[in-house]
Amino acid sequence: MSTFLPQFPPPASPLALFGLLLIAGVIGGELAHRVARLPRIVGYVVTGMVLGASGFNVLDAKLVDEAWIFVEIALGLVLFELGLRLDFAWLRRDRWLLATGLAESALSYALMYFALVFLDVGSLHAAVAAAIGVSTSPAVVMLVAQELRAEGQVTERALNLVAINSVVAFVLSTMLLSWIHHEYRASWTVAVLHPIYLFSGSLLLGYAAFLAALWMSRWIGKRADAHFVVLLALIIASIGVARMLELSALIALLVFGVFSRNYDERHDLVAVDLSVVGQLFFVVLFVVGGARLELFELAAGGTVALAYILARFAGKSLAVMSLAPFSRVRPGVAGMLCLALTPMSGMALAMVQGTASLYPEFTARLSTIVLSAAVVLELFGPLAVQFAFRHAGEAKDPGEQP
Amino acid sequence: MSGNLEFKASAALTIGTELELQILNSRDYNLARDAADLIGLIEKNGHPGAVKPEITESMIELNSSVHQRHETLAAELRELRDAVVRAAERLNVRIAGGGSHPFHNWNDRRVYPTERFKQILELYGYLAKQFTIFGQHVHVGCPTGDEAIYLVHMLSRYVPHFIALSASSPFQQGEDTSYQSSRLNTVSAFPLSGQMPFVHSWGEFIEYFNKMRGYGIVESMKDFYWDVRPKPEYGTVEVRVFDTPLTVERAAALVAYVQSLARHLLSDRPRAPSRDVYTLHNYNRFQACRYGLQGVFIDGYTERHVSLRDDVLETLSILAPHAAELGAGAALEDIAGHVRADASDAKWLREAYRERGSLNDVARMQSDRWMGRAVAPG
């Protein structure tokens, strides 16, 4: 008789979850923006924290897992767009920019590693945490740039530096997989072959997506609406295939973007604005990101997390301050770039997630360090980026909220 | 009052030019906002002539120095272009000629932060941002104010020539406007655009100017956006209707055309200024903007209807001896060749669009062309 009625309580639906997270995020973002004139991202993260483990725990680990697919799509979009910003021709013409990117990655890695080891963190954990810390959150930098409609040398250079340090972080953390396997006594074949499989497989996947995009573009012709669908389809398909083949969707999409920017020699691809769709997923990305943060982890991480954050900032800033001025833009650019490189968030979480599936006990210790640092950097990072772009005069109307 | 509007004599037939150029990003080739950084870097590297900001942050203006001959002007413009290209490549932006950007939105533009530009924004509102269009101004030196007034009137007959020969703004805001030069439609919206009044001498001109200043309508000559105007502080007559051509070579050739024409007008004194030229001015100007060299031209002196193309070719043959004297023969021959072949920058842009089907590609090709991609990256 009552078979047509739902069970009580009804089983959670990922779609309902997606919609509700979006609405909660939008409300949080608007409040942050209206009440405190903060970047909306901060509002999304705080919403996540309130709903998540640090708050009412409505958005618990199980729901976070269910929402994870949306996070992956969001990150996929971000990394694809980030790849589009990485311009080899520019790096060849302004080698100081490339040097700045490599130096800030290397120096911050070294300082984070030594700071952690100095504080008695095991060297493997220190190495992996440092590798993750090399990357600046591309989602935060791109979203703040979008929100402010920032454009100019600081914005463009910041995004290229973020792309460089993301590549470095991916390479480092993939290589470190060998060490993790070795530590947990996996066979040497696994230790050697896993990183090779992961890296080359993801690279090939990204390259294949690029070839497919190129082929479709030539066939369709220059129609932006059709290109939009094709790109989105390829991005989502790449994420799915990466999951099926145990590859890294993030690396694949970064590669897809980089190829699209640098190897579309006949200019077949049409510049497509993915930001409208991106916006949807970004809200969920930051809400879920916030939900994963645990304030008590900050206490647990304590001095270690603080040292990690400081070492990261010192390494990045030292390199940027000493090398960026050689690019001879205007004075003050280097300082703004240092600030723009501070955020750390969504991607770090995903990278932690990546290793979690292999050795949960390894991840537990790692996430205490990385996630407690992320609590701080996810909240203050957007502010730093907003300040940098505004102060550089690159926001659409400086000082005025968009 | 008239003391500060003294016509500063300059050597007859000296030439100089200003080129307003587009700054594009190298991602989707939309307008970028890097004028300040670009100018800063160019200044650090050193360059001939001068480099200045324009009304919005997506524009840059190059000024040549004063020259006697086309040849040296062209060489300087090439050198200046190379300096700009080197700086642009460092900043990963592109520079393009052409009278309009094919697809930017005017409301995305931001006014370059100087007092004068802020005042213009305050006064003209959205027109100031729509003024992100790109023209070439050509100066010809005159020894006296009276000669300058005469030359302004006489050059007015040829305004349709200048428009048709430089037309390079077929696209605006993502649409084909169907015009060869759509840029001038934007200029026409300004209240002080149009033509100089029909005064006969520098004295009469000063009287007019002081009256306008008395009304509080203008403060300086800069406030008049006329097609052709005297520029007393340089001692020149300035032609302002050219769209910025797609190459500096073409820009230099157009200067040679004005110079040869000025020599012909000042030395032969073929006619006296006529009000009829001004009566027909708007019609002829429209024909040139809309149809380019295919437009109809009504000669105010003979009342003859001819195609603009024929009138230009006829003028070129009259100018040949003057061009030869000035060392501009080759430049004018080059212009004649283009006219005979029905080639124009507007046509080139439309063909680029037909071939590629994307205005982003048009903007890219436009910048490739101006940057003369042969320049080694620095």
Could you report the per-residue pLDDT of B97-125, keeping only the tens digit for each? Answer: 999 999 999 988 999 989 999 998 999 99
DSSP B3: G
Per-residue pLDDT at A349 = 60
Model confidence band, residue B377 (pLDDT cutoffs 50, 70, 90): very low
Report how many Cβ contacts below 8 Å link chain A to chain B. Answer: 60
Q: Do A90 and B27 touch (CB under 8 A)?
A: no
Q: What is the per-residue pLDDT for A346? A: 56
Binary contact (A329, B364; C-beta < 8 A): no
Task: State the average pLDDT for chain B.
Answer: 94
Please give the backbone phi and psi of residue B262, each rounded to the nearest 5 degrees, phi first.
Answer: -65, -40
Nearest CA in chain A to B29: A271
Q: What is the pLDDT of residue B3?
A: 47
Q: Taking CA atoms, what residue in A is nearest to B94?
A: A90
Which pLDDT value is given to residue A21? 87
Q: Please say whether the dihedral angle defined by the alpha carbons of residues A188, A194, A197 and A200, taken in this order, is positive or negative.
A: negative
Q: Which residues is B231 bridged to in the sheet?
A: B236
Residue B353 CB: number of other CB atoms within 10 A? 19
Give the SS3 label for residue B196. coil
Q: Do B33 and A93 touch (CB under 8 A)?
A: no
Q: Are B168 and B243 in contact (CB under 8 A)?
A: yes
Given a contact cutoff of 8 angstroms between Cβ atoms, the answer to whether A206 and A251 are in contact is: yes
Please determine, for residue A38, whether its predicted confidence score (pLDDT) is greater than 60. Answer: yes
Which residue has tokens 């047509």? A4
Higher pLDDT, A183 or B15: B15
Q: What SS3 state is found at A4? A: coil
- Please say if the pLDDT value at position B257 is more than 50: yes
**For residue A300, pLDDT beyond 80:** no
B247 within 8 A of B331, measured Cβ to Cβ? no
- For A83, nearest residue in chain B (alpha carbons): B27
Mean pLDDT score, B183-198: 92
Q: Is the pLDDT of residue B232 over 70?
A: yes
Grade residue A157 by pLDDT with cuts at 50, 70 and 90.
very high
Predicted local confidence at residue B225, as pLDDT = 92
Across the range A300-321, mean pLDDT stands at 92
Contacts of B373 in chain A (CB under 8 A): none
A270 contacts on B by Cβ (under 8 Å) = 358, 360
**What is the residue-averaged pLDDT of chain A?**
89
Predicted pLDDT at A253: 96
Q: Is B28 on the interface with A (CB under 8 A)?
A: yes
User: Among B91, B103, B107, B367, which would you mutate to test the A interface (most chain A Cβ atoms within 10 Å of its Cβ)?
Assistant: B91
Q: Determine the Cα–Cα distance for residues B131 and B55; give it in Å rounded to an integer.
A: 7
Q: Which residues of B touch A156 (CB under 8 A)?
A: 25, 92
Give yes or no for residue B130 having a pLDDT over 70: yes
SS3 B56: strand
- SS3 state of residue A327: helix
State how far the Cα of A143 lies from the Cα of A281, in Å rounded to an integer. Answer: 11
Which residue in chain A has the smallest CA separation from B23?
A152
**What is the full DSSP assignment across A31-42?**
HHHHHH---HHH
Q: Are B89 and B24 in contact (CB under 8 A)?
A: no
Shortest CA distance from B108: residue in chain A:
A396
Residues of A in contact with B360 (CB under 8 A): 270-271
CB contact under 8 A, A92 and B377: yes
Contact yes or no for B92 and A156 at CB 8 A: yes
pLDDT higher than threshold 50 for residue B375:
no
pLDDT digits (tens, 9 = 90+) for A186-196: 888 988 999 99
- Summarize the confidence of residues B301-312 as an average pLDDT: 96
B202 min Cα distance to partner chain A (Å):
45
Distance from CA of A206 to the nearest CA of B (A): 20
Mean pLDDT of A78-88: 95
Name the one residue in this structure whose structure tokens are 């000024």. B63
Distance (Å) from the C-alpha of residue B247 to the closest C-alpha of chain A? 23
pLDDT band for position A163 (50/70/90)? Answer: very high
| Percentage, residues of chain A above pLDDT 90 | 59
The C-alpha of B185 sits at a distance from chain A's nearest C-alpha, in angstroms, of 27
pTM attached to this predicted model:
0.93
pLDDT of residue A345: 66
The reported pLDDT for the residue numbered A2 is 60
pLDDT category, A343, cuts 50, 70, 90?
Answer: very high
pLDDT in tens, A244-263: 999 999 999 999 999 999 99
Confidence of residue A397 (pLDDT cuts 50, 70, 90): low
Contact B141/B70 with Cβ under 8 angstroms?
no
**Residue B376 confidence (pLDDT) above 80:** no
Query: In angstroms, rounded to a whole number, what is the distance separating the alpha carbons of residues A66 and A69?
Result: 7
pLDDT in the model for residue A26: 94
CA A308 to each of CA A165, A379, B11: distance values in angstroms, whole numbers, following the listed order: 17, 16, 70
Interface confidence (ipTM) of the complex: 0.90
Query: Which tops the pLDDT comparison, A37 or B359?
Result: B359
Contact between A330 and B357 using a beta-carbon 8 Å cutoff: no
- Residue located via tokens 């001692």: B235
pLDDT of A357 reads 67
pLDDT of residue A353: 62
Mean pLDDT of A373-395: 91
Q: Locate all alpha helices (DSSP H) within B99-219, ordered by sequence.
A: 115-124, 126-130, 145-156, 159-166, 183-188, 202-215
